[in-house]
Amino acid sequence: MARKGLNTDRIVEAAAELIAERGFDQFSLRELADRLGVKTASLYNHISSLSELTSNIGQAAFERMAGQLYSGTEDASSFDTLYHIAIGYRKFAKENPELYKTIVKIPATGDPDLIEKGQSLVHSLYPVLEACGLSENDIIHFSRSIRSAMHGFVTLEEAGFFGTMADADESYFYMVKTLIQSLKDGHGGEDRG
């Protein structure tokens, strides 16, 4: 019999909390069951497998990240939206380092639903870049460039590679503004959004 108040959403939420605290590699169903005050077998009243739970956790992580990326961009110009997305990306990675690491590992899982969700998040950037005046081919190249720059920065920052010679926030803002300025310069500062 299922425990009252226990449902798939609560299980996914608790699993995401555990991953955020300890990391995906340290996550176990036993520990999740302990946190929820149930036996491990009881989890299977709500989830069919660890694979399903992992997929649900990935979906939740993507949703959290998307909320962070696009928060407050509703009335912004395309270039300002791009800036806010970049700031939101780093903020998500800093506030949710283990969930961020989980997201980065998703292509290696081979889970088609998660890969599609990840591609959907990446593709949500495309209309913003189109409104900045980029061609279809340039959208792909710039998207890869800015995502690589953001990921590289947050990965190096998390690993402790940035000393105290200059403020890391200032360095990140400098990087993002430089990339956006190169986009403006290459396309005459056009903003179709």
| CA nearest neighbour of 99 among 142, 64, 71 | 64
Give the pLDDT of the chain (193 residues) as one tens digit per residue: 345 578 999 999 999 889 888 887 888 899 999 999 999 999 999 998 887 888 888 888 888 898 888 887 888 899 999 999 999 999 999 998 888 888 887 777 788 888 888 888 899 999 999 999 999 999 999 999 999 999 999 999 999 998 878 899 999 999 999 999 999 987 655 555 5
Distance of CA 92 to the CA centre of its chain: 7
pTM for the whole structure: 0.82
* Rounded Cα–Cα distance for residues 175 and 13 (Å): 34
- Domains in the chain, CATH or no CATH each: 1-47 (1.10.10.60), 61-186 (1.10.357.10)
Going 32 to 38 to 40 to 42, the CA torsion angle's sign is negative
